[in-house]
Copies of this chain bind each other. A is one copy, B any other.
Amino acid sequence: MTALTPVPTAVDVPTGRPATVATPEPGDPRLERLALNQATVRPSTLIQAVDGCLRAGLPAIGLWREHVADLGLDRAVDLIHRSGLRVSSYCRGGFLTGHDRAKALDDNRRALDEAAALGAPALVMVLGGLPEDDRDLPGARSRAADAIGELVPYAAERGVRLALEPLHPMFCADRAVLSTLGQALDLAQDFPAETVGVTVDTYHVWWDPQVQAQIARAGHDGRIALFQVCDWVLPLPSDALLGRGMVGDGHIDVRSLLETVTAAGHTGDIEVEIFNADIWAADVDDVIATMARRHVEHVL
């Protein structure tokens, strides 16, 4: 007789297709680095997201300011502490390219205070796009770099790392003038590695012909603050922000990128961050279970 393998009966989110592997149970060592970013279950409260992680046996969560504010910072700090979950990241700071510099800096200092209170090792930084009717891309990049420099001492005092996130170039005009990992590392290198690192998000960097070399450089310089995963699915939706897919549903070779960050020395969490209306409409437990299955099938 051949050994029986578990028959998966679960259904993947959002495809609705039967799962092709069994869902890892809580305690499965393959889950030990898997983190849920709250954006993946955006309609859920922080309490619901934490509960979902605990039920599924996930050890870590990436938090968002909006959800923390909804619960209140003190209650959020207490909830996270009691849950035993690691905080993989805090999302997010940035938006430093506008002309009201003082206001933007104040807001980022508050975000750093919150991150410190929550025990988040890093504040994800999305630098901001071009002001309306503005064509001065070098100017916006320069303003953002200056503002990062201003925030560095404050971040260092609080023990929170600024995790500069290059966003896919399709967001250059409206969300982030930081477009490649190489550019992020060029900006970071003026500051101590323990205070300024980079976020490597598969969605944003997968297309880059230099991605392997720049991840190696980031590892060499000790700059990999966070590794986030999701997939590139076609077609792009009408709101390009919501086009991200569950790992395994699209064109990104996530496993290969994990191998590259691992070779570069990254041993931290693998955080799943997916902006997708169909995933947001699904049950939280089904979303997390699909994430866990895809993690063992397509990432590890």
Q: Are B251 and A240 in contact (CB under 8 A)?
A: no
**A135→B238 CA distance, assembly (Å):** 24
**A293→B112 CA distance, assembly (Å):** 49
Q: Are B232 and A207 in contact (CB under 8 A)?
A: no
Q: Are A172 and B252 in contact (CB under 8 A)?
A: no
Q: CB of A18 within 8 A of chain B?
A: no
Please tell me how many copies of the chain the complex holds. Answer: 2
**Cross-chain contact of A180 among B135, B172, B173, B209 (Cβ < 8 A):** B209
Determine chain A's interface SS by DSSP, over half rule. loop
**A169→B240 CA distance, assembly (Å):** 13
A27: min CB distance to chain B, Å: 30
Binary CB contact string for chain A from 195 to 237 against chain B (1 if under 8 A, 0 otherwise): 0000000000011111000000000000000000000101111
A198: min CB distance to chain B, Å: 14
**A135→B179 CA distance, assembly (Å):** 22
Q: Are B170 and A182 in contact (CB under 8 A)?
A: no
Q: Are A251 and B134 in contact (CB under 8 A)?
A: yes
**Cross-chain contact of A170 among B135, B168, B180, B210 (Cβ < 8 A):** B168
Q: Which residue of B lies closest to A133 (CB)?
A: B251
Q: Are B234 and A174 in contact (CB under 8 A)?
A: yes
Q: Are A170 and B236 in contact (CB under 8 A)?
A: yes
Contacts of A183 in B (CB 8 A): 209
Interface residues in chain A, defined as those with a beta carbon under 8 Å from any beta carbon in chain B: 130, 134-137, 141, 168-170, 172-174, 179-180, 182-183, 186, 206-210, 232, 234-240, 250-253
The 3 A-B residue pairs with the shortest CB-CB distance, nearest first, are A238-B238, A172-B207, A170-B170
Q: Please, could you name 7 A-B residue pairs with CB atoms under 8 Å apart, sorted by A?
A: A137-B206, A137-B253, A169-B170, A172-B207, A182-B209, A235-B239, A240-B240
